[in-house]
Chains A and B, each alone.
Chain A
Amino acid sequence: MSEISHYSQIWHHRTPKTRLFMWMGWLSLVALFLWCWQLMNRDTIWFFVADAPRQAADIGSRMWPPRWEYLPELLIPLWDTINIATIGTIGGVLMAIPVAFLAARNTTPSPRILRPIALFIIVASRSINALIWALLLVAIIGPGLLAGMVAIALRSIGFVGKLLYEAIEEIDPLQVEAVSATGADRAQVINYGIVPQIMPAFWGISVFRWDINIRESTILGLVGAGGIGLKLQGSLNTLAWGQVSVILLLILATVVVSEWISAKMRHAII
């Protein structure tokens, strides 16, 4: 048939115009990448980069074998690290609950004033890493476990608050209506209509955050906030690479165990 001969003989996924548009997009991404690469590497000393494999081999040979005699010294810092994560999580969750109720559209008392404030608290807490919080807090309240715990708590508010307020917004409104139809006041509506619905999500989020906090608290010591990171910092500063590898293996083991516990607990709850 001759009337369809003006169609392309080869099937294409997209029209020529979209294809041109996409090529332009990719081209500008590549250009942007190259420009950023140039800008980033203005001050890079390529001699050090070329030297890196030798350095890596050198560090590797110093790290192996791990100095296992160092292990008993690490047990108390490890206990401290777990405490930082756990108490920090508890504190963060306690602070996150009111923030979440203020931020959720269906429970906030004032959508104009308090809700934006609560959302800002959540964003601010989420965008600043625990290590930066610790850096600030060590300067303010001094080095030690307390700074680490407060840092972890402040960091957790945003994460827990965000997930919790999303859970509150997704509840079934019928149960809330049923409770308020009995003449319950605001607090009772929250207690009997909302809390039972978000309880599983709440425990799941808290345990998940605890797991993340264990990871984060292992390095807080680098800025002086206590725990096993302090030992890591000490070993790095004295170039005791054998001790560094022991610490890293211990951190790895702790992280794996905490991940396993959190997966088991979330599985049991949800």
Chain B
Amino acid sequence: MTAAHTYPSTWRRPPQILTHRGWRIGIQLGILAYLILAGASIEVDWQRVAMGLERGQRFVMGFLQPDFASRWNDISRGLIESLTMTLTSTVIGVMISVPIGIGAARNLAPRPVYLICRGIIAVSRALQEVIIAIFFVAMFGFGPFAGFLTLSFATIGFLAKLLADDIEEIEPGQADAIRATGGSWWQLINYAVQPQVMPRLIGLSLYRLDINFRESAVIGIVGAGGIGATLNTAIDRYEYDSAGAVLLIIIAIVMLAEYSSSYIRKFVQ
């Protein structure tokens, strides 16, 4: 007996994802090369950064000691715009996305309708909210009305797609049962489809309400009203304590919305 039968005394974990050695080394080298190339493209002005760090410190201080009082008028106006914009755009967006969602479900709609509705969804999903907002501001003027249209448009892509996917996955037995009783297309929707997708539709609408509020804080930066405009002004004027107050309000409302919507969703489903 010679050393031919010695077993390795250490164990190495086998690779999980890329099992071929060549691929592994190749991809690692590729990543390294990319990082070097990409790192070279960053130009950092360290003097500017050092100067900014002091400003960053002031911002952190502003965040820790937010000033709600001195700009309260502007903050409350922005907040009201954001909240009303969120609610109206969600309601309108849901109202439009229900027919589009039904039209985009393969098991309910004829082929041409299906393609048109899926096209609308694709367009709405492909464009960023901010880019849509830029166009709506150019068309409808500054203010929350442009923001309302932006968010409604964005809601359609989100909600109609998920609703259509949900309708395509319903239990076909119930639809067959309604058809067998001689129900019309409307009765089919009302008695077979709606009860099955309603809980999820409500859940998704609440989730979208939450997203719309977050987005309403952003589109204000390009002039579509809401709390984003207030925040932008505060930062432009280097009033970091007011900006900190706005950010804390946004975080608080988002947390509140998230908890209450998850609670309502649990209650509904």
Neighbouring A residues of B214 by C-beta, 8 Å: 127, 129
CB distance from A35 to the nearest CB of B (A): 8
Q: Let me know if A52 is at the binding interface, CB within 8 A.
A: yes
B91 and chain A: residue at smallest CB distance: A33
The answer to whether B84 and A39 have CB atoms under 8 Å apart is yes
Q: Let me know if B207 is at the binding interface, CB within 8 A.
A: no
The answer to whether B87 and A33 have CB atoms under 8 Å apart is yes
The answer to whether A129 and B144 have CB atoms under 8 Å apart is no
The answer to whether A146 and B59 have CB atoms under 8 Å apart is no
Q: Could you list 22 A-B pairs, sorted by A, with CB under 8 Å?
A: A13-B195, A36-B83, A43-B144, A48-B141, A127-B250, A127-B254, A131-B130, A132-B218, A132-B231, A135-B231, A139-B235, A141-B52, A141-B56, A142-B48, A144-B42, A146-B49, A149-B42, A199-B17, A223-B221, A236-B134, A251-B128, A255-B126
The answer to whether A40 and B148 have CB atoms under 8 Å apart is yes
Q: Which of A66-74, A78-86, A94-102, A167-175 contacts B (4 or more CB under 8 A)?
A: A78-86
Question: With A128-B247, A135-B232, A142-B49 in contact, is A37–B84 under 8 Å at CB?
Answer: yes
The answer to whether A44 and B49 have CB atoms under 8 Å apart is no
Cα A237 to Cα B18 with chains together (Å): 48
The answer to whether B231 and A129 have CB atoms under 8 Å apart is no
Cα A71 to Cα B85 with chains together (Å): 37
Cα A99 to Cα B171 with chains together (Å): 40
Neighbouring B residues of A251 by C-beta, 8 Å: 128, 131
Question: With A83-B41, A146-B42, A192-B13 in contact, is A129–B59 under 8 Å at CB?
Answer: no
Cα A136 to Cα B131 with chains together (Å): 20
Neighbouring B residues of A27 by C-beta, 8 Å: none
The answer to whether B235 and A248 have CB atoms under 8 Å apart is no
Q: Let me know if B55 is at the binding interface, CB within 8 A.
A: yes
Neighbouring A residues of B83 by C-beta, 8 Å: 36
The answer to whether A131 and B41 have CB atoms under 8 Å apart is no
Neighbouring A residues of B145 by C-beta, 8 Å: 40-41, 44, 49
Q: How many A-B residue pairs have CB under 8 A?
A: 147
**Docked complex: A208-241 residues within 8 A CB-CB of B:** 215-216, 218-219, 222-223, 236
Neighbouring B residues of A248 by C-beta, 8 Å: 131
A149 and chain B: residue at smallest CB distance: B42
The answer to whether B59 and A136 have CB atoms under 8 Å apart is yes
CB distance from B201 to the nearest CB of A (A): 14
User: Which 4 interchain pairs have the tightest Cβ spacing?
Assistant: A127-B254, A48-B141, A36-B84, A40-B84
List 11 extra interface pairs beyond A129-B214, A142-B45, A251-B131, CB under 8 A: A123-B255, A128-B250, A128-B251, A129-B215, A132-B217, A135-B221, A139-B52, A141-B49, A145-B41, A145-B43, A219-B128
CB distance from B212 to the nearest CB of A (A): 12
Question: With A39-B80, A40-B85, A145-B42 in contact, is A48–B56 under 8 Å at CB?
Answer: no
Q: Let me know if A252 is at the binding interface, CB within 8 A.
A: yes
Neighbouring A residues of B84 by C-beta, 8 Å: 36-37, 39-40
Q: 1/0 contact trace for A39-64 toward B, CB 8 Å?
A: 11101110011001001100100000
A244 and chain B: residue at smallest CB distance: B134
- How many B residues touch the partner, as a band? 35 or more
Q: Let me know if A29 is at the binding interface, CB within 8 A.
A: yes
CB distance from A30 to the nearest CB of B (A): 9
The answer to whether A219 and B55 have CB atoms under 8 Å apart is no
Q: Let me know if B139 is at the binding interface, CB within 8 A.
A: yes
A30 and chain B: residue at smallest CB distance: B91
The answer to whether A131 and B55 have CB atoms under 8 Å apart is no
Question: With A87-B38, A132-B218 in contact, is A199–B16 under 8 Å at CB?
Answer: yes
Q: Let me know if B81 is at the binding interface, CB within 8 A.
A: yes
CB < 8 Å neighbour of A203 from B17, B41, B59: B17
Q: Let me know if A178 is at the binding interface, CB within 8 A.
A: no
**Docked complex: A157-200 residues within 8 A CB-CB of B:** 192, 196, 199-200
Q: Let me know if A257 is at the binding interface, CB within 8 A.
A: no
Neighbouring B residues of A200 by C-beta, 8 Å: 16-17
The answer to whether B38 and A129 have CB atoms under 8 Å apart is no
Cα A52 to Cα B145 with chains together (Å): 12
Q: 1/0 contact trace for B237-269 toward A, CB 8 Å?
A: 010000100010011001100100000000000
The answer to whether B38 and A29 have CB atoms under 8 Å apart is no
Q: Let me know if A20 is at the binding interface, CB within 8 A.
A: no
**Docked complex: B59-74 residues within 8 A CB-CB of A:** 59
CB < 8 Å neighbour of A222 from B44, B45, B221, B255: B221
**Docked complex: B98-148 residues within 8 A CB-CB of A:** 126-128, 130-131, 134-135, 138-141, 143-145, 148
Q: Let me know if B228 is at the binding interface, CB within 8 A.
A: yes
Q: Which residue of A29, A127, A128, A251 has the most chain B CB atoms within 10 A of its CB atom?
A: A127
CB distance from B62 to the nearest CB of A (A): 11
Cα A223 to Cα B21 with chains together (Å): 44
CB < 8 Å neighbour of A218 from B17, B128, B217: B128
A259 and chain B: residue at smallest CB distance: B126
Cα A136 to Cα B55 with chains together (Å): 10
The answer to whether A37 and B218 have CB atoms under 8 Å apart is no
